[in-house]
Amino acid sequence: GLTTATAIEEPIQPPVQVNHTQLLINGQFVDSASGRTFPTLDPRTGEPIAHVAEGDVEDVNRAVIAARKAFDGGPWPKMTGYQRSCILYRFADLIEKHNDEIAALETWDNGKPYEQAAKAEVPTLARLMRYYAGWADKIHGLIVPADSPHHVQVLHEPIGVAGQIIPWNFPLLMFAWKVGPALACGNTIVLKTAEQTPLSALLVSKLFHEAGLPDGVLNVISGFGPTAGAALASHMDVDKLAFTGSTDTGKIVLELAARSNLKPVTLELGGKSPIIVMDDADIDQAVEVAHFALFFNQGQCCCAGSRTFVHERVYDEFVEKSKARALKRVVGDPFRKGVEQGPQIDEEQFSKILHYIKSGVDSGATLVTGGDRIGSKGYYIQPTIFSDVEDKMKIAKEEIFGPVQSILKFK
């Protein structure tokens, strides 16, 4: 059953220390140009874990200059794909070696269960790096048969300095999906991490340098979206922008990229993914799958199964069993063994989710279970289920990004 509020209010001391809080520019940890810092908060309590250098326009400029220099000269552009792959493989080995330390830092900053960070997210970071490392020496061009006496050849070359902006829900997977391919292909990077979770990227980027990554190839800026993020998106000397985050911010960065140097942009945005349960499904299995699809990572997934459509003939049974499953969900301090759900990332998301729950009630959906916070500090929310949800309701249309399952009926 739910962990009691009192158990939540005695946070476990994380088995890790914060060693890196500065910006990483040109292979060096440095303070921000302004000297300013901001606190990164523990989602279990809302209290600061550490004060982190706050990057802004001037820091982004310095980082882009370093990335440009590393792209145009120095060891990086002279390396073969194979040599780059060796660095990525060594990095993956170091991730494995430091698995538990990285996972603890991730749990502390993000609130996700330690067991998931240690057994899934961090090992997947290593695995993804090996996947991209494998590509580094296999990106070939193309020879095109020409109907004229010409030799037509397509070459794939790195694009240059990549600006990358990532969110807080899977800080290390986001790191892997952005940094891995860009480096395998020979680009250099300025990465802007999410202000909620700046810590793990700094630690793993240091390990990347230990693995042999040349200075300036990967620069990491902690800071806020409208300042550091916008500076990167609108920078005239950034050749490509990759962004993962909310749909609204995606629109902003696409426009900033267009208004500056028309850099190409890759966007990975929000979602409202359906799960469809037919009347001949194995109901127990369907309940478990739909439960995981929505509640995994505190519901903070762009691909969360946030609309569960269930056939009318099995609807009542499905709702009853989903309720029983939600009531069994173990919510608690993410460092505690056996915990399935930790706190939401921050005050803003926490309030937004509670607001959506209220909207669900107001619009006439049936609150089957949950609906409130747990405890009086930190950002814990009860696993919540609505039945009788209809397409037109806000909770069926907008991304909630929290532990709130909506079950809709179909014929």
Q: Which residues are catalytic?
A: 268
Give min distance, CB of 368 to ligand ADP, in A: 26
Q: Which of 158, 180, 216, 225 binds ligand ADP (CB under 6 A)?
A: 225
Which residue lies nearer to ligand ADP by CB, 223 or 305?
Answer: 223
Q: Which residue is nearest to ligand ADP (CB)?
A: 225
Using the rule CB under 6 A, give the single segment among 43-51, 88-96, 213-221, 246-254 that binds ligand ADP: 246-254
Query: Residue 252 interacts with ligand ADP (CB under 6 A)?
Result: yes
Closer CB to ligand ADP, 333 or 399, in the complex: 399
CA 207 distance to own-chain centroid: 20
Q: Does 246 bind ligand ADP (CB under 6 A)?
A: yes
CB of 192 to ligand ADP, least distance (A): 6
Q: Which of 25, 174, 190, 233 binds ligand ADP (CB under 6 A)?
A: 233
When asked if residue 43 is in the footprint of ligand ADP (CB under 6 A), the reply is: no
Cα 400 to Cα 63, 289, 302, 380: the distances in Å are 34, 19, 10, 15
Q: Rounded to the nearest whole angstrom, what is the least distance from the CB of residue 267 to ligand ADP in the complex?
A: 10
How many residues touch ligand ADP under the rule CB under 6 A: the total is 17
194 is a contact residue toward ligand ADP (CB under 6 A): yes
Cα separation, 263 vs 330, in Å, equals 45
Nearest to 380 by CA among 330, 338, 319: 330
Which tokens go with 250? 């995606």
Among 68, 112, 192, 307, binds ligand ADP (CB under 6 A): 192
**Cβ distance 189 to 217 under 8 Å?**
yes
CB 171 within 8 A of CB 197: yes
Both structure tokens of 320: 């009853």
Angle between helices 199-210 and 171-184 (to 10 degrees): 40
Looking at the chain, how many residues does it have? 411
Q: Sketch the per residue contact string, 338 through 377, with ligand ADP: x for CB under 6 A, - otherwise.
A: ----------------------------------------
Q: Is position 226 an interface residue for ligand ADP (rule: CB under 6 A)?
A: yes
- 50 DSSP β-pair partners: 40
Q: How far apart are the C-alpha atoms of 218 and 232, rounded to whole Å?
A: 14
Least distance (Å) between residue 101 CB and ligand ADP: 24
CB of 223 to ligand ADP, least distance (A): 7
For ligand ADP, the binding residue among 136, 242, 253, 381 (CB under 6 A) is 253
Residue closer to ligand ADP, measured from CB, 16 or 252: 252
Determine the interface stretch with ligand ADP among 139-147, 219-227, 276-284, 365-373 (rule: CB under 6 A): 219-227
**Which of 141/226 has CB closer to ligand ADP?**
226
Mapped onto helix, strand or coil, the DSSP state of residue 74 is: coil
Among 41, 103, 230, 339, binds ligand ADP (CB under 6 A): 230
Among the residues of 55-121, which ranges form H helices? 57-72, 81-97, 99-110, 114-116
Instruction: Choose which of 14, 198, 245, 378 interacts with ligand ADP (CB under 6 A).
Output: 245
Site string for ligand ADP, 140-169 (x = CB under 6 A): -------------------------xxx--
b/e sequence 231-266, b meaning 16+ C-beta within 10 Å: bbbbbebbbbbbbbbbeebbebbeebbeeeeebebe
Residue 11, CA distances (Å) to 8, 40, 43 in order: 6, 17, 10
- What angle do the packed helices 171-184 and 99-110 form, to 10 degrees? 120
- CA 87/CA 209 separation, integer angstroms: 9
Burial 336-367 (b: 16+ CB within 10 A, else e): beebbbbbbbbeebbebbbebbeebeeeebeb
Give least dist CB 224 to ligand ADP, A: 6
CB nearer to ligand ADP: pick between 32 and 322? 32
**Considering beta carbons, is residue 167 or 383 the nearer one to ligand ADP?**
167
User: Rounded to whole angstroms, how far apart are CA atoms 310 and 277?
Assistant: 5
Q: For residue 72, which amino acid is it?
A: D
Residue closer to ligand ADP (CB basis): 70 or 253: 253
Task: Tell me the closest approach of the beta carbon of residue 175 to ligand ADP, in angstroms.
Answer: 12
Q: Which residues bind ligand ADP (CB under 6 A)?
A: 165-167, 192, 194-195, 224-226, 229-230, 233, 245-246, 249, 252-253
